[in-house]
Chains A and B, each alone.
Chain A
């Protein structure tokens, strides 16, 4: 498997300005589920999927976690490797990571703890048919 990147971009930093697809600007810590849903609705070609966390494991790469999701209506299995501080947006809950303490330390972004069963927002390409 490819070596995962340890670099997390600054858009997760508290105070980062995020532009929604509607043109509205919001701070990353103020985003709500509806902001993502509405943005996907007005975006051409992108759709929001519900991605349920089914397992959280240690990665073979030190300093990473291996997350397993089932994605969308098809319940497709997708796995990704991320640093434990990587935030995911959980429906109805908000930003969540495997290590809320590290996320707070590195990004000052308040987070819940990401757990098996959490339903995260992800995107994929809209089907053409």
Chain B
């Protein structure tokens, strides 16, 4: 018997940095 294994799935956007410049007021 093969036990079911959960496989993690990651969203694409977790792989790229969020580079947002700080907005001037």
A-side residues, CB < 8 A to B, are 9-12, 16-21, 25, 28, 31, 35-36, 39, 43, 46, 48-49, 51, 69, 71-72, 74, 76-78, 80, 88-89, 120-125
Contacts and interface: CB of A to CB of B under 8 A. Distances in A.
Interface residues on B, range: 10 to 19
B10 to A, nearest CB: 4
Contacts of A11: 8, 10, 14-15
6 contacts: A12-B15, A18-B12, A35-B12, A43-B13, A46-B13, A76-B21
Interface string B1-25: 0000001111111111111110000
Given A71-B21, A74-B21, A76-B21, A17 B16 contact: no
Contacts, number: 75
Given A16-B10, A51-B19, 4 more contacts: A10-B8, A18-B9, A36-B12, A76-B21
